[in-house]
Structure 1
Amino acid sequence: MGAMMLIIIQVLLLISPSIPKSAAQSEVITLPGCPNSCGGVLIPYPFGIGPKCAKPGFELNCSTTNAGTSTPYLGNYTILNISLSSGLARVNMPVSYECYGNTTRTNLSFTYTVDWSGTPFQLNTEKNIIRAIGCNTLASLTIADSGNSYVGVTGCAPLCESLESLTNGNCSGIGCCQATIPETSNYFITSFSDLDAYLNTSISYNFTRCGYSMLMENSEFYLKTSYITTNELIGQNTSAVIDWSIGNTTCNIAQGNKSTYACRSENSFCLNSSTSHGYLCNCSDGYQGNPYLEGGCQDIDECVKQNPCSEPAKCHNYQGGYKCSCPFGRRLKRGNKNKCGLDLALVLGPCCSVVALSFLGLVAYVVHEKRKVSKVEEKYFQEHGGRILLEKIQSDQGFGFALFTKEQIEQATNNFDNANIIGHGGQGTVYKGSLRDQMVAIKKCKITDERKKKEFGKEMLILSQINHKNIVKILGCCLEVDVPMLVYEFIPNGTLFHYIHGKNHETHISLSKCLKIAHESAEALAYLHFSASPPIFHGDVKSLNILLDQSYSAKVSDFGASILSPTDEAQFVTVVQGTCGYLDPEYMQSYQLTDKSDVYSFGVVLLEILTGKPVINFFATEEERSLSSYCLCAMKENKMHELLNDEFKSEVDDVEVLMEVARLAKECLNMKGEDRPTMKKVAEELDRIRKLKQHLWEQECHPKEIEGLLNETSHSIEIEHTNYFSLENKAQKSLSIGR
């Protein structure tokens, strides 16, 4: 009788309709009495329009035209949409432009400065990009920190040879170029520089007079030649993505103060922002709405919206979730609470077969998926020349290079945890990690050159054999991913750039140590040029790429992104690469990297050491903006001693040692590469200067002995005074995509 009643109840459950839930409360996204939209754009709290409708710093304006249309504004910028869960907003950014008349004098221009200092907003570096459109015009974006102090600059220069060279299509460097944004910022400036003045390509004025700079989302972009030959981009806007977050504290600290804690809904949780020092609020699983309002996160009725239960299972909603129920003779499957299976207690025999088949199917599925992943990893491994490296490792037991798996790299970096990031760049991110009980630096690149994929293994063979005490050792790589990851030895003491400019370091480096670092760096570059086979050109020599170990010995880094000595015309580049302020003007004209390009960049590093000034300072006057131009002009007027680092001048009785270094730097900055010394000669000259300084400090020598050292000619280099400054002044404004 009891069994019969159970059957009847189960049948009734099968045929009876589900009891409908009362209509959900309408979703509330704003404070009471505040408008929830403007011009079709939803305005969720903490954003708001009107008095007491927004959290401080999130106030927006809703502007209505005479035609009756409305637009929301954040300051001067139109808000296109707002995302609560991701902490992002999309805004309109104006197109900057600079137009010329028959001469190179600007007759129409528009640039702008964005200052979000002290606000919850900053530019998103991952989702935005700067694009330049035009001919022979450098478009740049200067980035500052919260104190409006110079942090860096990025940009690029599209080049044109003729009207016929322009084509519709992708942004490839001819008429259009693009650069990534390496630093998060809430203060940035757009600016232009004209390259025609020193590239002698004024023919471009016959078909274009304007250059454009667009800060925009990094998405698909189609270049039309009319953008270059007409002025249709003037007055236009692009969309860009900005980050926002609550406060300047982490979740742990914010939750300790209930009165200011922004996550007000009881069904919400806090998460730290990945791009700033603040935090965000999200609704818990099973809830949706606005977590910044009390009661803002409301239950999702999954049974109505998703109907997740497969027939014959029935769905039952509850606060924060749902559950499925099965009719008589069936039960929910293990591992899948949305589907019904046979009840083992009733049909043990057939069910065993079903379970066995299901298990075999699961095993087959897992094996199939593993094979798919393995095939993809093997494909990448072969594309990047992994077979060549593997054969070398197997045949040479003393070969100090290793191939790491993707799993090893993920484990070493704790799955690329942001806490392990030790450096950002336009080309990738560097993580600290531990591999085989050794601290290493792992470079995860963003992009790769498809043309170099097949040659990657051969280049790694050459780079792995570099063995110099002042060059960062490359230990291995991971080839099981689309873009290979490089593994270097870990250098713990920061970079020369940070010591020169005081970032994160209070300690002043003495002149002796600076000369030692400069000499060791020159020796390292000379090794790459003359001892490596084939020779290697660094291509991005700068103080940020000179690391320091615990004894302040120099370690030149990032040579893994360099190029081998070109053996044919295939190495001729079409898009200028390098870092603003260090770029060789001859390279800008020929588009071909040489060993003398590294010499020029090293000369700029010497001036950076001597003066302690930034290489490019867009906040300075025109004559002081480029460090190399400023110093060359000062040397021409015999005023270089006024620019020298005061702490260095106090360390020596005679500034002649410093002037010797300055004269060497000037020689490195010759306009023609053939007039510059080799890195080997530069290293020898720095060694001579170090010995001169040591002699002046530690020995009480006679004037004739000092004169003999100063007049030593075995390693000295003649100084030529040519028409260098005017060209250099313009060339130093050049810029391209940083590595």
Structure 2
Amino acid sequence: MAVAVAPPPSNASEFTKPGCQSRCGNLEIPYPFGIGLNCSRNSYFNINCNASFNPPKPFLLNANRYDNYKLTYYEVVNISESQIYVKNSKAQQSMACYGKRFDNKTQNSTIYMNFLDSPYTLSDANQVTSIGCDDLAMVQQDSIKASSGGAIKASSGGGCASYCSHFQNPFGFGSCPGIGCCRTSISKGDILIVELSDMHSYWRRVSKFFPCSFAFIGMIGDYDKFNFSLSHLRNSTTLLKTYNQEFMGMPFVLDWRIMDYNCTDAPNSTDYACGKNSYCIDMDTKLGGYHCRCKKGYEGNPYLGCNDINECEKSNQCVSFGTCTNTLGSYNCSCPDGYHGDGKKYGIGCIPTQLSRSKLAIGVGLGAGMGLLLLSSTCFWLYKFHTKRKHKNRKEKFFKQNGGLLLQQQILTDQSILEKTRLFTVKELEKATDNFNESRILGQGGQGTVYKGMLSEGKIVAIKKSKLVDENQVEQFINEVVMLSQIIHRNVVKLLGCCLETEVPLLVYEFIFNGTLFDLIHDKTNEFPLSWNMRLKIAVEVAEALAYLHSATYFPIYHRDVKSTNILLDEKYVAKVSDFGTSRSIAVDHTHLTTLVKGTFGYLDPEYFQSSQFTEKSDVYSLELFLSSS
């Protein structure tokens, strides 16, 4: 995973001590870090550049002196003003396996990291992730700060439990966070202990589903959500091999600082680190230490001394015919002869001091021309303003008509809705679909038309233009949009958000690449035969999705249109239940839903036609019917 950090200036001499190596492989090494003797502030900042790799790789040796009393090498991937990013290694991992063949428990079930007496501390950008069934990851942290009255110690703790509700051979899949995986944050500190424990007896199980569990620390980033096979938890060797390959690219983040003092006392010390034209910044009042930064108008390495920026050669705010004069840390603007003012573009500028009659006449003519141009521009601007306001009013009308105010009210009540339900503008979706070009249509059905689109950030999505929403059912429509956006299940198509600025609401879903199960079954030319094992796998995944919708959500959700055309397959042929156009949720104190006939004839429960009462059994009937026909 790449970490975005601003690169240093090209002039290496400004960043590295004179005579010292400025780069190791692809990484710039800024002072107080350094390569070689007397090139860093002290041994804690030494970087070992290993030339046996191609390109060479930089390693930090002395960050953690107390890792089981062994020196630990960290491969450095980036250095910023206050943090250093290193590759995830065994020092940030632990594994525990239980049972007789594992001698009850392996010996490396604890992560212990101690950065006392070093300029490094654990960053709160890291998180602890625990993978396993019925396991507890306990986290203990300590922070110690030196003071005139002695050391001040602060302790904290936390943890998370990874849980598996059931396991069905041979399709055991976990998700993180979710099935078989939990995650917890850590705070800044000097000492971190993570201990894995078996919890199967707490859940009153006879034995564990899987004997092994795994925990690691790192900056999540691109690994925010991922799926994995629970079968890797059967064997310690397979587990380590799989997850080392998977997560070795995840960075582990350390905060670094010039230690011991805060900025109140640091300038008075004999080893003050900030160089010329720089100033001191406190790192953390709880942990102590400071950083240095160049003053405004200066650039370079603040620990070696900052140099004045010549704004007159770069960017400045002087008028084009004025004069720019560089000063230390700033610059001045002045006007040429015959003009007066401050010489700045966004100030008074430069005003002529004397005008001849001819110049005055020219000025009047130019003024009249400019006035006419200004009048024309004003009329054009008013027309554009009127048109823009008309479009804005139209969008606001549709927004209110489609329940936008109700959705905003729910967001004010619960801020988590905003994180999961993105409100798209019509401009975004028109750009994503080339103004809803017919060539972008993926399919059409009773509930609307689905388009393929690409958002500005490059993400491919499916955009559904629904049919008109009954104004009497707006509140129910908004409640169901919010409800569907909360669904997080690997076998249910994710609703990313909606747009309410058009006459008909637009729903934005994740895009599933391999089309529908119906197409896969009936395509005679398909080079990928649908084997019995694949059919069984898809059936299990659809059943798990329906079970989740019926029983694991806050309100039970009835799909009401389960058929092969509403089952999508991703690039790994994982089944995704889609098309919730006819779905409904019911409160927990109701046992069924009474409604008009909806769904697809041929897949509907016969009892539903008689009673108009839809239950979870009706979805099961549709599932069994489409499975038997597949």
TM-score scaled to structure 2, two decimals?
A: 0.46
Quick check: which one's helix share is greater? 1
